[in-house]
Amino acid sequence: MASEKTLDRKCYEQLCPMATALDVIGDRWTILIIRELLGGAARFNELQEGLPGIAKNLLTERLRRLESDGVVRRVGSQNVMRYALTERGAAARTAVEELGFWGAMLEPLAPPRHKRSIRAIAMALQAVLSRAGDALPDARHVIELEVDAQHIQIVLDRRPSASAGPATDADARIRVPRSAMSDFLLGQSFDKKAFVHVSGDKTARSALLRAFGSMSPSS
């Protein structure tokens, strides 16, 4: 007999972990919702802004299903309620990052019409920095990256992280145009001059650029 969770969806019904994963995240928009939340907890309207084209009722349905599957949870109060990944949801990070690296090797099937959201940029930054290896510093630097008036907090050390939102007690603040950030994340170019030091410790900027440069074919 089908469980309540499977009554309203089509499942592969295969004894295969990949099929099970796709039963949970294989619907359109679902993995992009996870992508957004890997960049930090978000309110409903913030998710909608980061997913241009998704209908409000569809986003509601996808979030409800992810909550039911134990992938997403609600945090905060009723007045300021956000969606965040559970431990199970956060465990998808490596798989989502690798899918992104694979997707970067493909030609888009249609011309992109929308900018990458700030949470998607944060998620991609963490994925890139996690591959920087020996270029990562031993010392810990907290950096606030301003991308076209939006902010990302980067914690730069041997286990780097990035999340959308202003940095707490930043060692340095750096400004970069979204176009330069997008070019870098797509592997097209790396322009050190685009990363403008605004305030704080200049060695933190140098550490970040060293990590970025190690990943760029143009460095």
Q: What is the 3-state secondary structure (H, E, C) of 102-123?
A: HHCCCCCCCCCCCCCCHHHHHH
pLDDT in tens, 22-40: 999 999 999 999 999 999 9
Domain match, 129 and 203 both? yes
Residue 43's CATH number: 1.10.10.10
Domain match, 95 and 122 both? no
pTM for this prediction: 0.89
Domain that holds residue 137: 118-215
Q: What is the pLDDT of residue 191?
A: 86
- C-alpha 123/C-alpha 37 separation (Å) is 9
> At which residue do the structure tokens 């997707």 appear?
103
3-state helix, strand and coil shares in percent for the chain, rounded to the nearest 5: 40, 20, 40
Residue 143 located in a structural domain: yes
Q: How many domains does the chain have?
A: 2
Domain match, 167 and 136 both? yes
Q: What is the pLDDT of residue 219?
A: 36
Domain match, 25 and 96 both? yes
Q: What is the pLDDT of residue 128?
A: 92
CB count, 10 Å around CB of 198? 13
97 three-state secondary structure? helix
- Give average pLDDT by consecutive 10-residue segment, the chain, 219 residues: 58 95 96 97 97 97 97 92 98 96 89 92 94 95 96 97 95 95 83 92 94 68
